[in-house]
Structure 1
């Protein structure tokens, strides 16, 4: 008995000495000593947590995306509890032995480096917008094309990262390579124009090589994941091999396209469509593989969070544009109430866009297949959101140009139609009207002043240009001799706030260009803005439908949300079609009513959602209260 007590005392003493040694080591690292009430075990645990949090523990060069756990009975019970509609849990990928279970080390939350990579995505959009503002049909098509290329590249990267990416030195090197790829997209985006002649072929050759490099990088990443997985199981070899083969095929296809972009004439439009065909097939095959082989699926991953984060940064791109628009609209003018209200409406639209998406998060565990469909449908949804945030800026700039042009035209009409000035007097009157526009204070507008002044001088040298005999009795329109001046001024005003719009504006030589609102570019801006709003609302409604299941049916608030979104989407389509009426478009843009209308539509949806959720919650509360009262009465009887 004494020998046993001696052994126990010695063992306890040794444990205390080791613990004290551990505490001393922690103190040596600069960790504050714990108080006397802290137990030795908790101190050691706290010290290990400190090492992890302070990044004192060395970063591993590479990590395996799989874990092998023992206690298969516990794992099996967890999988059974987490199963969803009979779908197989990807954490139970394969049993290696009788008491070992293989599962992917998926993360349920995004890390900071993934959010950091999203910033490169949005930086590409901002760079492209600065070089190609969406102000006509050609730039709209180019914007959609470029957005499609970078979005599906980002999507492929995300599909890998949410399943196989763990923080390590290797993954950070891969992220560095991905950042370089997106910087390459920014270089290509500055000259991305499928409508341009053959001088742009070199730019598309570079784009093909960048896409090839991105696919080769993903081939390496999937191959590394396959290497670690094959150490434990062969069950995932076939689906991952198919994914690798798909990426090799798409990369080879992009490489083969470089032959079509040799120096010389512009190739046919069919070669540009091939980009989107390859990207679509690539995404469909990758998602199809995860649907057929559920072990490579996305259950318990943070795919849902990744789509939400990208939505957030896309809305944030609108905040960047809003600050730039303030400088363009109010930079050379005094603070105006109407301009201030329009800027406030644009900011309100951004806030309400955030509320419409993030106040209605998807239900948890709504199914692996539904989750993948929900994720890929974010492409058209994000396209609509980009149209809303970018279109809001263009609508304000169009209103700003139109307001300044109408002010100039009003002064010229007074001088010509009412006062019938001629010669030097007419030149002085037009020059005073030009001075009010402050084109000389703008670096872009200043370049147009010599040409505008030459045309003003030409009008002054024209005999009887504003005489009553030439104008005719009762006329309210400027004579045709003013058409060249008004077209040039329209281009100068547009160029002063949006330099990339000058080429498209100057290309119009018809007399209708005398009214900026009738310019085809403004018609395109107006139509795609309302079309984007309708597109975004349609997919917000689809997201509600997709995330509901048989055991989670549509509630009263869900049905109300679907109805109000459908009604507003149809209204938006009707307003987009109204762009065919030049008179309506002129009045609508001149009065600056577009943004207040959109803000009102969003407010109606948000208010209706809140009201419907309140009614639905009250009804559910009454039903539950009635059930409890019925149960109490039954128990008393």
Structure 2
């Protein structure tokens, strides 16, 4: 473009005026109704406000994980319980957003209120320890207030939807909207009724069952909300972006595990630099994250696969997300346990040398012990500072004593240490463990607590692996919309075999000696990686076999490029199977004709054989296919309402100007 022309264009643009966007105060949720399918579908992708809200969920999870170390069953129960509280609240927010939310001042205000509720959850999570002596009734009352706030907000949101439904005279939606409002009002009332049960002068214990009310109410309200959407199909999630929302949160949860990997690297190799075994363990954790992403998103649905099945699939994400968090957190704890075990063996070897072989005594023994302890830089780590005074006192007492490691003291391992050396060894190992951010009680046998925590880590790591694999198996059954083929068989077989293997490994924890011997080796994470990638390999092999057979079957194929397409998650074999791929034109489920030649309709009109080797085409094919006349159109059948609240496929009442009355 010439300079003069460009300047003229810029001048003309500057003389124009534009209309600025003004966010409306409130929008009618009926504007988002899909008139063809008669369902609420305001948009087909997540908004930035929804993604912004997801960050509050992950921030709560990350903060709670940082402040709560899983060292016993009560801490594990608190972790699972708090995760359930924030996940269910997030889930109910999503169930409303994907059907009714449109950008407006009202929707932004509602989202701000629910964000405030999640800030309250963060305050509660810092000291959430139900059923233990650390439990704080003030903290529990704050949790009840926060739950009441969130449920009142949900009730008001559905009530506003009911107002617009009433203005549009949608009488068939009065009852389901009212039931949604009633569900959240009752839940808010129950949570409010729990507030007086947490007085300051009396602690609520686990025996009275008060804590279970939180999770019972949340389970019932979730079942009620999903059941309403299943009965009244207009409130279903058929044309919504619920699948995308669940996938995005799954991606964020996996990403939170990636943050944990970086922390594990700094804990294992931040001071000492690269170590082969520690590097291998970190690589295994990374491969677990990548494998989880591959298995989930390679088999992620991209369209509607059944109203009820879709709701079951969405609710199934609670155990999926919980298992992912437990698997990643457990993998990090396994790596840290192996790190402490290695350092403990190094320390034990040094103590055996000084006491049983060199038979040092007095000041010489104290100097050697301090030199061995200084190697681990416990004075430079915040978590181990609380142990330093006790360690120095023990070393000082050993230096002022004689005969502790005299010539008559014999032994070959830490089990033979004299009591003074054994107590010192236990404190140093506990300091190593606490230096990694895992808090141990100082008033108990720290070694016993540490070994019990390792036992728990082993169990919940493999339990999470087992649950996650089982959920992946159920997902494969739920999302299948085509004929069963080799891919389905191999996918189910692979997941079933991994379930049996992981259950067998979990059962080894029944033997204390066997389990501790396994923990002291670095094989746990590599075995988990091998099992996970066995699923991926079998999926790919099954997809290859299924594609070959499906192309030769002569049946219509669903998929891009006769099964050679790919979806946007990068799962090639997934696009080849099951109809979830994307074609070059963007059609996710295009019907593709079979490559097998079709026989002519008249068996007598066949291609004649020429002795010279050429085929002669009969006149039937030369002149082209015969012309067909369209049959006379039949008048549309009268549409009536089905029982149980199911919506009709078409009704003039839900088309045209009738929808506009709701504006």
Between Structure 1 and Structure 2, which shows a larger proportion of helix residues? 1
The 2-side partners of 1:290 and 1:155 are apart by 14
| Matches for 1:487-526 after TM superposition, within 5 Å | 487-499=426-438, 501-503=439-441, 506=442, 508-509=444-445, 516=450, 519-526=451-458
Cα distance, 1:135 vs structure 2 = 3.1
Pairing of 1:117-128 with structure 2 (within 5 A)? 117-128=53-64
Deviation at 1:479, TM superposition (A): 2.8
Q: Aligned match of 1:281 in 220, 223, 232?
A: 220
1:237 counterpart = 2:237: no
* Residue matched to 2:625: none
Q: Helix, strand or coil for the counterpart of 2:360?
A: coil
Tell me how far apart the structure 1 counterparts of residues 509 and 437 of structure 2 sit (CA, whole Å): 22
Cα 1:278–1:632, aligned 2, differ >3 Å: closer, same or farther? same
Q: Is 1:396 matched with 2:344?
A: no
Aligned residue among 548, 554, 559 for 2:480: 548
Q: TM-score, normalised by structure 2?
A: 0.79
Deviation at 1:404, TM superposition (A): 1.3
Give the SS at the match of 1:490: helix
Partner of 2:194: 257
Query: Which of these residues, 244, 264, 272, is aligned with residue 305 of structure 1?
Result: 244
Equivalent in 132, 141, 146 of residue 196 of structure 1: 132
Conserved? CA contact 1:198–1:264, under 8 Å: no
Q: CA separation in 1, counterparts of 2:528 and 2:507?
A: 15
Cα distance, 1:462 vs structure 2: 3.9
Is the partner of 2:31 in helix, strand or coil?
Answer: strand
1:151 to 63, 68, 87: 87
Alpha-carbon distance in structure 1 between the residues aligned to 2:406 and 2:252: 58
Say whether residues 1:27 and 2:13 are aligned partners. yes
Is the 1:66–1:105 contact (alpha carbons within 8 Å) kept by the matching residues of 2? no
CA distance 1:460–1:195, change in 2 (3 Å) = farther
Q: Deviations over 1:579-612 (max 9, x none)?
A: 3334433343333222222122221111111111
2:26 corresponds in structure 1 to: 62
Superposed CA RMSD in Å reads 2.6
Q: Residues 283 and 625 from structure 1, CA distance in 2 versus in 1: closer, same or farther, beyond 3 angstroms?
A: closer
In structure 2, how many angstroms separate the alpha carbons of the residues matched to 1:328 and 1:579?
27
470-479 or 239-248, larger mean C-alpha shift: 470-479
SS in 2 for 1:235: helix
Q: In the alignment, which residue of structure 2 is the partner of 1:246?
A: 183
Aligned to 1:420: 359
Counterpart-to-counterpart distance in 1, 2:412 and 2:500: 46
SS for the counterpart of 1:66 is helix
User: Residues of 1 paired with 2:446 and 2:27: CA distance?
Assistant: 65
- Residues 333/424 of structure 1: CA separation in 2 closer, same or farther (3 Å cut): same
Deviation at 1:567, TM superposition (A): 1.1
Q: Are the equivalent residues in 2 in contact too, given 1:198–1:267 (CA < 8 A)?
A: no
Are 1:599 and 2:529 an aligned pair?
A: yes
Q: After superposition, give the CA deviation of every residue in 1:270-303 in whole Å (9 maximum; x if it has no partner).
A: 0001111000011011111111222211111111
Match of 2:38 in 1: 90
Comparing 182-191 and 228-237, the one that deviates more: 228-237
List per-residue Cα deviations over 1:413-456 (Å, max 9, x = no partner). 11112222222222122111101111122122233222112112
Distance 1:68 1:522, change over 3 A: closer
Q: In the alignment, is the contact (CA less than 8 A) between 2:127 and 2:135 conserved in 1?
A: no
- 1:226 matches 2:162: yes
**Structure 1: distance between partners of 2:94 and 2:30:** 18
Q: Give the structure 1 partner of residue 631 of structure 2.
A: none
Give the corresponding residue for 2:615.
none
1:537 to 469, 482, 495: 469
Q: Which residue of 2 aligns with 1:20?
A: none
Task: Find the counterpart in structure 1 of residue 117 from structure 2.
Answer: 181
Q: Which of 91, 103, 113 pairs up with 1:167?
A: 103
Cα displacement (A) at 1:332: 1.5
Check conservation: 1:135, 1:394, Cα contact below 8 A. no
SS across alignment from 2:402: coil
Distance apart, 1:140 and its partner CA: 1.0
Q: 2:548 aligns with which of 618, 629, 637?
A: 618
Q: State the Cα distance separating 1:507 from its structure 2 match.
A: 5.2
| The 10-residue stretch of structure 1 (231-240 or 570-579) with the greater mean CA deviation from structure 2 | 570-579
1:609 is matched with which residue? 539
For 2:447 and 2:125, how far apart are their aligned partners in 1? 34
TM-score (norm 1): 0.82
CA 1:171–1:470 in structure 2 vs 1: closer, same or farther (change >3 Å)? same
| CA-CA distance at 1:630 after TM superposition | 5.4
CA–CA distance in 1 between the matches of 2:501 and 2:12?
Answer: 66
Partner residue of 1:560?
490
Determine the structure 2 residue equivalent to 1:584: 514
Query: Which residue in 1 is equivalent to 2:381?
Result: 442
- Seen in structure 2, the aligned counterparts of structure 1 residues 475 and 318 have a Cα distance that, compared at 3 Å, is closer
Q: 1:396 to 1:198 in 2, by over 3 A?
A: closer
Query: Could you tell me how far apart the structure 1 residues matched to 2:412 and 2:48 are?
Result: 72
